Amino acid sequence: MSINQLWVEKYRPSTTDGYVFTDSDTRTLIEHWISDKSIPNVLFYGPAGTGKTTLSKILINSVEVEDVDVLHVNGSKEGRRIEWLRDKLDGFCSTMAFGTYKIVLIDEADYLNPQSVQPALRNLIESFSDSVRFILTCNWPHKIIPPLRSRCHEIKISSTDITEFTARAATVLVEENIEFDLDTLDTYVQTTYPDLRKCLTLLQSNSITGQLKVVKTNGPVAHDFKVQAVELLKSGRGREARTLICANVDPEEVDGVFRWAYDNLDLWSNTDEGQDEAIQIIKRGLINNVSCSDHEINLSATLTELISIGK
């Protein structure tokens, strides 16, 4: 199998027909903007890997804005600095568009400095309201200051259900002629859901022989220790899974593990009652995580409670 082309880019939809909308109202609105060849300022928000940037690019391409009239920015990098906004973004917005208007796409806008960059961006949006449109994407909309949010049309991009997620991942494997069994694929799905981008990256890294690598619980697997943890949990070796997670998770990733535990409730129980209990345990763990001086101990205790549900 060739790895010259990343699957996340190869299989990125380029039109609304290929994009999986989870909300019919969002599809109707996007198609209306495309039909009018005009868009407002937009804020797409939702979990990582659910298609916010993809939908932004589809929108930009469909309204037929000239490439030179589009500026794509990563808010977690250059967008953090007020100097970037003054020296680069202001200059881009100030020059005349080749077409009807310009578009600025800012990914990870929740990383923009809320004390300096975000207020300045708000003023910039107002100053160039006739000639520039802004599309912002973020995971956490509460990190965007209210005056900036109020100047954007907010659209939540929800996760696809796990069945659709699995089907999309399986389709890519079939297209790439990768041999796989559904149980192995399920392990990768439960590791990465709802982040399809991460899932495809992990699948590609573990399919270089033309066959999806079966996860070994005592050996290395590309990129993510949670793959092995899922396999351990599925085989009833919860204590080993807990030990593996706590030994490998970085302090800044702890909140992400709680979210992963919530996104994969069927790892803890197959009953509605058991999954309800899991939600309560995860909530308590998150609350305790704020006040606990040792986050690893709190995470270990939470995982212990979750694992005990299925016993």
pLDDT at 92: 94
Domain boundaries, the chain: 21-156, 160-214, 217-311
Pick the closest to residue 244 from 256, 230, 258 (CA basis): 230
Which region, left, alpha or beta, applies to residue 116 given φ > 0 means left and ψ of -120 to 50 means alpha?
A: alpha
Please state, in angstroms and rounded to a whole number, the distance separating the CA atoms of residues 262 and 149. 28
Q: One fold for both 160-214 and 217-311? A: no
Confidence of residue 214 (pLDDT cuts 50, 70, 90): confident
Domain spanning 217-311, CATH class: mainly alpha
Query: What pLDDT, in 10s, does the model give residues 117-161?
Result: 999 999 999 999 999 999 999 999 999 999 999 999 999 999 888
Going by CATH, does the domain composed of 21-156 fall within 3.40.50.300?
yes
Q: What is the CATH number of domain 160-214?
A: 1.10.8
pLDDT tens digits, 154-175: 999 998 889 999 999 999 999 9
Span 3-58, pLDDT tens digits: 568 999 999 999 999 898 988 999 999 999 999 998 999 999 998 889 999 999 99
The pLDDT value recorded for residue 87 is 84
Q: How far is CA 291 from the centre of its chain?
A: 27
Rounded Cα distance between 207 and 205, Å, is 6
Task: Indicate the pTM of the whole model.
Answer: 0.80
Q: Which of 262, 267, 269 is nearest to 310 (CA)?
A: 269
